[in-house]
Amino acid sequence: MTIQGVSALDTGNEVGLGRRKFSEIPLAMLLLAPSLIVFGVFIFYPLVRTIRLGFYRSDPFGGELYVGWEQYWDTLRSGDFHHSLWITVLFALLTVGFGLLIGLSLAILAHQRLKGITIFRTIFSSTVATSVAVSSLMWLVLFQPSIGVFNQFLDTIGHEEPVRFLLDTSTALFAVAATTVWQNLGITFIILIAGLQGIPDDLYESARVDGASAWLQFREITIPMLSPTLLFASVILTINAFKSFGQIDLLTEGGPSDSTNVIVYSIYQEAFENRNPGVASAQAVILFLILLLLTLTQFTFFERRVHYAGGDDE
């Protein structure tokens, strides 16, 4: 009898709790409404609109002709799109690889307990407050053939012929990549030094007691414990690389000879220079799918090799 009474009471409580949760749905929707409206207007609607435009081809008179999936297939088979995708992949490899390497080096340096190290932390993270336009113009002056610092340095070591960094197909992409690495260095440094500060000091103290060298501590403690932060930073840098536009527009305008014509700049050219929004929309949708697939791949593949504090490796 008591057990049946308790069961009935529990069932009644569950029903009451369910009704209470159901009655709170209108309030929850009301609180979420501002965010949903912002996301709908600035994210979901433009996405749906872009997908729709990809099904239409512009005629010479400004009209739209429905072509369905044909435009997407034509874009995927386009040699120009393949070239832009290849340039984008090279650009991403350069910026993500060197960005993580330099950012990690500076973060480890700034993590040392040295007098005045706070000043260097501020300097290393200062690029996060610099706009793309300002940093691009600054590097434009640095790369300038006649008065640029880089060419002046080359001249002092005996290289008399100035290097046209931004006008040579063999150096333009590296020059833009260097600019992008510098632009993203602030946020990369902040992310990585925050990860370093989260590693318990007890691990290093135990390793030093056991006689572990600095390199062994870095390999066996720092890298495994920092792996979640490195994964996050690599995803952020990859997304930034694939959507880079401002520095390319200001430094090279996709040239010379399309050697820096990444996908985003190709989308801009199709939409505003060639007056072909359908092709630009198709490229934008494909870029979105590429980024989505790449991000999922990074999390799926690399997360298995990530060590989380307090848990086992996956």
Considering the entire predicted model, what is its pTM?
0.84
Distance of CA 158 to the CA centre of its chain: 39
Q: 233 is written with which tokens?
A: 């930073």
Q: What is the rounded distance in angstroms from the CA atom of residue 88 to the CA atom of residue 311?
A: 37
* Residue 18 pLDDT: 55
pLDDT of residue 16: 54
Q: Cis peptide before 224, with omega less than 30 degrees from 0?
A: no
In the 8-state DSSP scheme, what is residue 261?
-
Residue 234: which of 299, 308, 163 has the closest Cα?
A: 299
* Tens digit of each residue's pLDDT (9 = 90 or more) over 113-148: 888 888 888 888 889 888 999 999 999 999 988 888
Give tens-digit pLDDT for 8-44: 445 555 555 556 666 778 888 888 888 889 888 888 8
Percent of the chain with pLDDT over 90: 40
The encoded tokens of residue 206 equal 């135990």
pLDDT digits (tens, 9 = 90+) for 206-237: 988 888 888 998 888 888 899 889 989 999 99
Give the tens place of pLDDT for each residue, 282-292.
999 999 999 99
Backbone angles phi, psi at 175, to 5 degrees: -65, -45
Tokens standing for residue 10: 């529990």
- CA 272/CA 83 separation, integer angstroms: 20
Q: At what angle do helices 277-302 and 79-110 cross, to 10 degrees?
A: 40
Domains of the chain, first to last = 78-305 (1.10.3720.10)
Q: pLDDT at residue 313 above 80? A: no
